[in-house]
Amino acid sequence: MKVILANPRGFCAGVYMAVDVVDQILALCPDEPIYVYHEIVHNKHVVRRFEERGVTFVDRIDEVPSDSIVVFSAHGISPEVRRAARERRLTAIDATCPLVTKVHMEAIRYARDGYQILLIGHSGHDEVVGTVGEAPDAIQVVESPADVHNLRIHNPNRLVYLTQTTLSLDDAEVIIRALRHAFPNIKSPPSDDICYATTNRQTAVRCIAPDCDLVLVVGSRNSSNSVRLTEIAEAAGTPAHLLDDMSELRAEWFEHVETVLITSGASAPEDLVREILAELIARYDAVVQQYDVYDERIEFGLPQSLKELMRERGVDPSGRTITLDHSSGIVDWLNERGGAVEPVRITISAPARVGS
């Protein structure tokens, strides 16, 4: 069996930042309870590991005791949540991904300029709920081309569409086409809202999956970008499974399979990929290659609110950066094993985005 590792895969810059924010708060305030509003990122292992270290995840701000520390997740929040946190005198640390904040800013600006905003995304997803909250009277969510006929439009010349950051590029394109057909003067966002990490992971799967017999996507079922990767593989004609970890591997998936592609969603930790890889090497004597579609080097700084907390606690935040290790380590791990594996980097010429 040959196993191909897609690169890029796994943690994006926004997830590195959000996870590291909670890590750094745990180190800064070891004796205080830490609350996180919503899952910090949509991955059950990341959440469980923090719970084991004493972090409490809540779905309502009134679950957080007054004067406590609360972290807002990478998916962003509505102003109402921010207000509720202020009323409870919470120390709020905002781990919203800057690329989600960018979409919030666009929504605020277009609403202020009198536009109706059509937000392409999944109703009820944390990110969409947060963005809608910025301008609830101006925003309508569009989930599919069928929704276009039910929109309430006052002035078709004062319309703009925005998108959730983790959509499938293809699905979004179909909806945008339907919107343009119905409203030829609709404006597009100043820059793409679907983020670089989503774009690059999807591009990698779209390039490699057609040459494989099976695609494994490591990620949780509530991770939008992980689910999209699975759908993209299936759309390319290759059976695909989304799995949280090695325990979900099924022997029947591998019958008559010679080439397996492994990728992971933007919130899936790399050690879970490594465990699956080790299992496939042990079970099938698999040979491993990594296909580099794009080498990502995006990094976000620590949020201002965390730096302020550091100052309050007597820690100088200047020069402080994300402390998580960005290198995957898997290629080195494969090399160290020697013999049984063949880590080869192959660069595929494909369109990819550096970032926004």
DSSP code at position 34 = E
- Minimum CB separation of residue 57 from ligand SF4 in Å reads 17
DSSP code at position 188 = P
Applying CB under 6 A, the span of 149-157, 190-198, 249-257, 326-334 interacting with ligand SF4 comes to 190-198
- Cβ closest to ligand SF4, residue 107 vs residue 197: 197
Residues 318/303, Cβ–Cβ less than 8 Å: no
- Minimum CB separation of residue 166 from ligand SF4 in Å reads 5
| Full DSSP string of 280-292 | HHHHH--EEEEEE
Distance CA 260, CA 254 (A): 9
Residue of minimal Cβ distance to ligand SF4: 14
Q: Is 46 among the residues that bind ligand SF4 (CB under 6 A)?
A: no
- Minimum CB separation of residue 1 from ligand SF4 in Å reads 30
- Cβ closest to ligand SF4, residue 224 vs residue 290: 224
- Taking CB under 6 A as the criterion, the residue among 195, 207, 215, 242 binding ligand SF4 is 195
Output the CA angle 107-108-110, nearest 5 degrees.
Answer: 65
Distance CA 251, CA 1 (A): 13
Phi, psi for 249 (deg, rounded to 5):
-65, 140
The 56-85 contact track toward ligand SF4, x by CB under 6 A, reads ------------------x-----------
Considering only residues 198 to 227 of the shown chain, the ones binding ligand SF4 according to CB under 6 A are: 198, 225
Q: Is 290 among the residues that bind ligand SF4 (CB under 6 A)?
A: no
134 catalytic per annotation: no
Output the CA angle 17-348-350, nearest 5 degrees.
Answer: 75
Tokens found for residue 296: 């990502």
Rg (CA), the chain: 21
Q: Is 15 among the residues that bind ligand SF4 (CB under 6 A)?
A: yes
- Taking CB under 6 A as the criterion, the residue among 3, 6, 12, 281 binding ligand SF4 is 12
- Minimum CB separation of residue 210 from ligand SF4 in Å reads 24
- Cβ closest to ligand SF4, residue 24 vs residue 73: 73
Task: Check 39, 52, 63, 127 and give the catalytic one.
Answer: 127
Tokens found for residue 321: 């950066």
Considering only residues 232 to 271 of the shown chain, the ones binding ligand SF4 according to CB under 6 A are: 266
Residues 164/127, Cβ–Cβ less than 8 Å: yes
| Closest of 209, 215, 218, 259 to residue 236, by C-alpha | 209
Applying CB under 6 A, the span of 78-86, 97-105, 167-175, 308-316 interacting with ligand SF4 comes to 97-105
| Closest of 13, 15, 59, 14 to residue 35, by C-alpha | 59
- Taking CB under 6 A as the criterion, the residue among 6, 13, 281, 288 binding ligand SF4 is 13
Residue pointed to by tokens 């006929």: 149
- Minimum CB separation of residue 11 from ligand SF4 in Å reads 8
Residues 147/173, Cβ–Cβ less than 8 Å: no
Which sequence positions are flagged as catalytic? 127
What residue ranges bind ligand SF4 (CB under 6 A)?
12-15, 74, 97, 99-100, 165-166, 195, 197-198, 225, 266
